[in-house]
Structure 1
């Protein structure tokens, strides 16, 4: 398959009646799949109402068939066709954070969407992306669009069109290049069907931000692991992984350096994932600064690109510093734990 690629200007005024946006939207209406930028990562979009289109998403990504897809919309009114009701708590969150990196889990209407998209669940995840290109495409096609991250399943999510092309060229109909994304980690997924709204996946909107709007918010214990059927993407499978084994290190910089030194003494190419504050401290084959520790949003924005850089460096093993689990740090550690397959080395041996 030839994968078309369009470079578009993000300026809103340049997206009106844009022929490239129209071409991408037409492909979606024809039940093809197209990658486009959102404020979090690049998404791989397909018509959520059509089984054939949704099947193409799973096939292109190599995604497990029991991993549900998030539905992207451009207007709140679109939800009337596939959502049973919008609880008041969800309405308040939409007013506060949409468009933006927040996915809300709601009760779906039977038969309104492809069962493949929601993997037989009675609920559906919905979000409105905060990116002019994504919104322009969604408005132009007028369809609810299922759109997981536009990468091969299990690999680091794509934050540039080049990442998408690396994974999916020849497998999808098109890539809309709107430049690098901003937030860098996927949307927060919040279940609004439970008695207390519950975070199923931490992301660009923090628990603290949510609680400032609606009060108490819980975190699903399934985030710690287990075999429960996933209610949201990212809950069950290993994700975001570089080619080399990745280990999270709970300990001092000196301990991280010791681990890397031992690997190099054995003839292996050792990598260290750190931040700008500590990059000059380490001596290893590959040292990559992923943002700054005093500004965790920069770590989130750079995380997936950093993991892909380790692949390019051909590191044999990667050691990563850990980050405080506060604010967006929850999302950063969630992604790193997934990428590492929950492998943690502790300096204290605990």
Structure 2
């Protein structure tokens, strides 16, 4: 196997764009230790073969990701889990059979010597999921070994949900990216991460597989980021670091704010304002005040659309050269929890 040299990341490369018809070429690059981004139903992942320490190091370097931040491993079949982890609990097996392929990551006990050591730095566990994106399942199968796949963005920035987002961050840096047939990721935020060792499910990161869905399988609790930081052996990838933020400050506008409240806050600003909100709110604001740029989250009350458009909207507004972003909150219930989790982390100010 030809490893990616560390110094290769300082050299300009031709970033190829692959599609379903050229997956074999992308798989060949991954087997050589190169980096190739791939689509999933959640966000695009930055892929490297998970048993190549140098290639995995390249993922950390390309993203600017701290090397103590563990990576999620992506498999193409449940049988790969049994082959590569130390133990699969009966509860974890039920979760895989119920929600895979899909946006659920499960923490398993680590089997020593299977994955490159920098996949799970200092951990006794490994995070694994099986995405439902057909191109990526076939890609992993072609490679013949699981892939690491953290979000394919520069660390700390909004995650990518379109091939253009990946190219904006990594064109000339990574060997390739696979373009999905759909223009934007189906879900739009990262997977739910859970621990399922006993007869209780512990949510470490919320996502599209919600607490209510998981509760049909077993009792569920959610562990906060601060609780995870206090337990170094139980942490979701990324919990230690800031995420999802554009360059501009983001103001989270509470769900109870009326149009009048929005306008009062906007009147306080002398900076160019970008607005991220649903269609009804944007039309009401535009009828009363002009602002620099806007991005629609979709129809009022469409939580799935708002979640799908969140990162795309933050990226669009960041590139619009507005100077401050006003972002609309949703109800932080079972359906809106993943959206609010990501937007709260992206926000500098909560009004």
- State the TM-score, normalizing by the size of structure 2: 0.90
Specify which of 236, 241, 245 is matched with residue 237 of structure 1: 241
Change (3 A) 1:271 1:223: farther
Specify which of 344, 347, 350 is matched with residue 350 of structure 2: 344
Structure 2 residue 194 is matched with structure 1 residue 187: no
Secondary structure of 2:215's partner? helix
Aligned to 2:320: 313
Structure 2 residue 274 is matched with structure 1 residue 271: yes
Which runs of no fewer than 5 residues in structure 1 stay unpaired?
A: 9-14, 346-350
Specify which of 205, 211, 215 is matched with residue 207 of structure 1: 211
Which runs of no fewer than 5 residues in structure 2 stay unpaired?
A: 1-11
Q: CA deviation at 1:222?
A: 2.0
Aligned to 1:68: 70
Mapping of residues 101-116 of structure 1, within 5 Å:
101-116=103-118
Secondary structure of 1:278's partner? helix
Q: Deviations over 1:32-76 (max 9, x none)?
A: 110011111111011111110110000000011121110000011
Q: Which runs of 4+ in 1 moved over 6 A?
A: none
| Distance in 1 of aligned mates of 2:322 and 2:57 | 34
Aligned to 2:13: 2
Q: Deviations over 1:190-211 (max 9, x none)?
A: 1113662111111121111111
Secondary structure of 2:214's partner? helix
Tell me, yes or no, if the aligned pair for 2:201 and 2:218 is still in contact at 8 Å: no
| Distance in 1 of aligned mates of 2:225 and 2:209 | 19
| Distance in 2 of aligned mates of 1:183 and 1:174 | 23
Specify which of 254, 258, 266 is matched with residue 264 of structure 2: 258
Aligned to 1:322: 329
Tell me, yes or no, if the aligned pair for 1:273 and 1:318 is still in contact at 8 Å: yes
Tell me, yes or no, if the aligned pair for 1:201 and 1:234 is still in contact at 8 Å: no
Specify which of 198, 207, 221 is matched with residue 224 of structure 2: 221
| Distance in 2 of aligned mates of 1:91 and 1:262 | 54
Q: Deviations over 1:264-309 (max 9, x none)?
A: xx3x101222112211111322232212341201111101100011
Secondary structure of 1:318's partner? strand
Q: Deviations over 1:304-346 (max 9, x none)?
A: 10001111211111122211112331110111111114x311x
| Distance in 1 of aligned mates of 2:223 and 2:15 | 40
Aligned to 2:176: 174
| Distance in 2 of aligned mates of 1:339 and 1:243 | 10
Specify which of 108, 126, 129 is matched with residue 127 of structure 1: 129
Change (3 A) 1:313 1:136: same
